[in-house]
Structure 1
Amino acid sequence: MDTHKAKLILDKYRAGICSEEELALLESWYVDSQSADIDLISEHDLIAVKNDIWNTLPVHNEAETIPVKKIKLSTPFKYWVAAVALIILSVSIYLINHNDFMLKVNNKFAAAHIKPGSAKATLTLANGKTIVLDNANNGVIAGQNGASVIKTNGENLSYQRENNTSSVETINLLSVPAGGFYTLTLSDGTKVWLNSKSSLKYPTCFVGNERRVELTGEGYFEVAHNANQPFKVKTKGQVIEVLGTRFNINAYGDENSINTSLLQGSIKIWAQDIPAKVLSPGEKAILADNALSIQHSNVEDEIDWVNNDFIFNNSDLCSILRKISRWYNVEIDCPAELSNMKFSGKISRSKNIQQVLNIMELTGSVNFKIEERRITVMP
């Protein structure tokens, strides 16, 4: 910030037209003598602002009416007493009248320990052996029933089919924890992105007349076309059949519905005793309360996480907080009385968690308190 802007903020403060952001910046100058920006303000201006605050205090006016015994102090001691008094007064005023600002300061320090998600996952082989992929080196990490398991780029697992003559499928499980993501290339060339707290069960090589995998959580699929071997994704409560297409499935257990969004191609959905329905690009299927409905949707928003973004498009508070909780691996309870609040915005998932929460705080309708890895929502 340049000197001209700093003086402009001071002028706006004296005129009583400071925005909340400018007032917060002024307060930070006032209480933080280590601030890099404080050098932009002259000592005269700082004293003037402090005098303004002092003159507005009721305790100041009352103190003038109370007779006190005068004590003559030496000049150096006067300055020392005045400095101590000013520090005590400044801290007292700040703590009493600026709770919101203190909350933001405390949140800033707590948020520094909460990192965005990163590439991490655990691979469970058919024999029960587990491999923590974020600790494994790039290259071939296992051989499974005619397929080599290869880790590349630190965040992708791929299966390269070799000589597989077995008629029995060997099943692997890729599990992504909270605060993680991972990508997977199956032996047929199908690509899968797994979001936080998700897992995919799949064969190392597909055999038979279909390609079947099982998903929990959220996954985005780009299915390799094979008309002779349909690709099927099983989740809790539904099965999706495709030939070659791009789609996203959100099937988290803590969500109220299973949402399937189609970006390209065509898919057919079966759900328990409900007649099968076919989706076209730009449509989303919602399975909730034993009913399957289809609606038009901005399906690109449904794969915001694949592009490492959060996109909120009139989204309800509780669904937003569940996304944040999974990605940053924190605990958040959404109060029932706030569940109908709606928010819109876009921000990178690589941002600090406080920056994400600030989008909602800017509305003035909700605030957040961060304590270690727990976040409290306050109206």
Structure 2
Amino acid sequence: MEKKDYTNYSAEQLLEDDFFLESFSKPTPDSLSFWVDQTRGNEVLTKEVAYAKIILRSIPYRKRIFSSDDKELLWMRISETNHRKHLFRYWYSSVAAAAVLLILVVGGFYYTDYYAKDNLTAIERVQRPEHSVETIQLILADEKKVNIEEEDSRLQYSKKGELHINTQKVDIPQKSTDTNKQGQKNPVYNQLIVPAAKRSFLELADGSKIWVNANTRVVYPVTFENKKREIYVDGEIYIEVFPDKERPFIVKSEKMDIRVLGTKFNVSAYAANKESSVVLVSGKVNVQTDNRSESVLEPSERLSYGKGSTDIKKVNVENYISWKDGFYTFDNECFSIVLDKLSDYYGKKMAYNAEVGALRCSGSLNLSDDMVKVLNGLESTMPVNFTIEREYISVIVKP
């Protein structure tokens, strides 16, 4: 760990320091020990660190990373209220009261009614399994695991919540809520895990249909609430939402949320990727990103979001949803897009330079083929060579 002296840092400086933010959002034994040593015997720094943490805790759980614009807007908001120093002094005498005031000043800027509800963070807190899987796996609310060996599995819930896997009924007791220590009932969630080079289909109890691509995790409640329907996605899905005006459907991911009533669209939101996207086939969707921007899409529009910026353009939707039928199709597409899609599907990183990425590609790839066969086919039609290494695949232009 890089040693740095934070002795005279203020809360403002801490909130602009990448290591402090990383220590707060993803603490490690080393970082915890580091901050204990830094604040030991330093009462002023201890209070500045505590003040900065109060501000960070007032921001929604899902907002894990501060961009430079976020930092500027945060302190601009505090400056405009002309209360920051007052709040800091008040914290000395009453931590609880200061926390409440800070949430009113800072939290009010970040929170909307949409993000303020507990259920919107509960589904995001469902932990991904520690170990990768080789077969499609259903993790039930009681953490019981069901392995599905079939290549293209079909999971269907009846309106009563009965589960069928490839038309065979699965007799598994389901509980829709769990009671916490305070006696409150919280929804419980199932997870569908689809590994590399496999796909699955999931029909929910409300009639909504979800095609799940490779390397994807879908979190969904055992039963939907009375006022809304909500799922969480890490990966790629194509979904046909069953219309229900009384209960809007929300697809949540790490960087964006999509809100609909009834429509068809594709979501690509791999947490490991820099860019997330939504492609609308029919109907209308509202997309909210983690930088607080909001967009409404029309049919045949694709919204891409990465590095804090949003781009919307017209596309041929078939090129983005053909995977659900077992093919990737491309029409004069940048080769970088093709390689990235294959990386997501087969779970193998592609290493290539700008020259390779700038090549154009048209055609169709059969997702039933194994990775080596697909790469050999591309080598025969594209001016590139693939070299399979242990951790990645190297792609270079043919000499």
In the superposition, relative to structure 1, how do residues 313 and 254 fare at CA in structure 2: closer, same or farther (>3 Å)? farther
Which whole-Å deviations, capped at 9, do the CAs of 1:1-24 have from their partners, x for residues lacking one?
A: xxxxxxxxxxxxxxxxxxxxxxxx
Counterpart in the other structure of 2:66: none
Distance 1:163 1:324 in 2: 38
Task: Find out whether 1:230 has 2:225 as its counterpart.
Answer: no
Choose from 148, 152, 164 the match for 2:166: 152
Task: Find out whether 1:242 has 2:250 as its counterpart.
Answer: no
Distance 1:151 1:190 in 2: 16
Supply the AA of the counterpart residue of 1:126.
A
Contact 2:197 2:367 in 1 (8 A): no
Counterpart in the other structure of 2:140: 125
Distance 2:190 2:317 in 1: 30
Counterpart in the other structure of 1:289: 307
Larger CA Rg, structure 1 vs 2: 1
Q: Greater relative contact order (Cα 8 A, min sep 6): structure 1 or 2?
A: 1
Task: Find out whether 1:134 has 2:149 as its counterpart.
Answer: yes
Unaligned runs of 5+ in 2: 1-133, 179-184
Task: Find out whether 1:183 has 2:198 as its counterpart.
Answer: no
Counterpart in the other structure of 2:218: 200
Contact 1:222 1:246 in 2 (8 A): yes
The residue correspondences of 1:219-368 to structure 2 (distance < 5 A) are 219-363=237-381, 365-368=383-386
Instruction: State the Cα distance separating 1:336 from its structure 2 match.
Output: 4.8
Instruction: State the Cα distance separating 1:358 from its structure 2 match.
Output: 4.3
Instruction: State the Cα distance separating 1:308 from its structure 2 match.
Output: 0.5
In the superposition, relative to structure 1, how do residues 316 and 235 fare at CA in structure 2: closer, same or farther (>3 Å)? same
The aligned length equals 257
Which moves more between the two structures, 318-327 or 247-256? 318-327
Supply the AA of the counterpart residue of 2:161.
A
RMSD of the TM alignment (CA)?
3.7
Instruction: State the Cα distance separating 1:158 from its structure 2 match.
Output: 9.6
Which whole-Å deviations, capped at 9, do the CAs of 1:284-335 have from their partners, x for residues lacking one?
A: 1111221222211111110121011011223333332232234344454234
Supply the AA of the counterpart residue of 2:195.
P
In the superposition, relative to structure 1, how do residues 150 and 235 fare at CA in structure 2: closer, same or farther (>3 Å)? same
Counterpart in the other structure of 1:98: none
Contact 1:259 1:285 in 2 (8 A): yes
Which moves more between the two structures, 258-267 or 159-168? 159-168
Distance 2:271 2:215 in 1: 10
When normalised by structure 2's length, the TM-score is 0.56
Distance 1:210 1:134 in 2: 33
Supply the AA of the counterpart residue of 1:322.
D
In the superposition, relative to structure 1, how do residues 124 and 345 fare at CA in structure 2: closer, same or farther (>3 Å)? same
Describe the SS at the equivalent of 1:292: strand
Distance 1:135 1:359 in 2: 26
In the superposition, relative to structure 1, how do residues 169 and 373 fare at CA in structure 2: closer, same or farther (>3 Å)? same
When normalised by structure 1's length, the TM-score is 0.59
Describe the SS at the equivalent of 2:223: coil
Supply the AA of the counterpart residue of 2:164.
I
Describe the SS at the equivalent of 2:149: helix
Instruction: State the Cα distance separating 1:133 from its structure 2 match.
Output: 2.0
In the superposition, relative to structure 1, how do residues 135 and 283 fare at CA in structure 2: closer, same or farther (>3 Å)? closer
Distance 2:377 2:258 in 1: 36
Which whole-Å deviations, capped at 9, do the CAs of 1:72-105 have from their partners, x for residues lacking one?
A: xxxxxxxxxxxxxxxxxxxxxxxxxxxxxxxxxx
In the superposition, relative to structure 1, how do residues 305 and 275 fare at CA in structure 2: closer, same or farther (>3 Å)? same
Supply the AA of the counterpart residue of 2:242.
A
Contact 1:366 1:377 in 2 (8 A): yes
In the superposition, relative to structure 1, how do residues 300 and 284 fare at CA in structure 2: closer, same or farther (>3 Å)? same
Contact 1:274 1:292 in 2 (8 A): no
Distance 2:291 2:347 in 1: 36
In the superposition, relative to structure 1, how do residues 348 and 125 fare at CA in structure 2: closer, same or farther (>3 Å)? same
Describe the SS at the equivalent of 1:346: strand
Supply the AA of the counterpart residue of 1:124.
I
Counterpart in the other structure of 2:64: none
In the superposition, relative to structure 1, how do residues 122 and 140 fare at CA in structure 2: closer, same or farther (>3 Å)? closer
Unaligned runs of 5+ in 1: 1-118
Deviating above 6 A after TM superposition, structure 1's stretches of 4 or more consecutive aligned residues are 138-143, 157-167
In the superposition, relative to structure 1, how do residues 316 and 230 fare at CA in structure 2: closer, same or farther (>3 Å)? same
Which moves more between the two structures, 337-346 or 358-367? 358-367
Distance 1:364 1:126 in 2: 47
Which whole-Å deviations, capped at 9, do the CAs of 1:198-252 have from their partners, x for residues lacking one?
A: 0111101101311011101101101010000000001112111111110000112
Instruction: State the Cα distance separating 1:338 from its structure 2 match.
Output: 2.4
Describe the SS at the equivalent of 1:318: helix
Distance 1:139 1:234 in 2: 22
Distance 2:341 2:291 in 1: 30
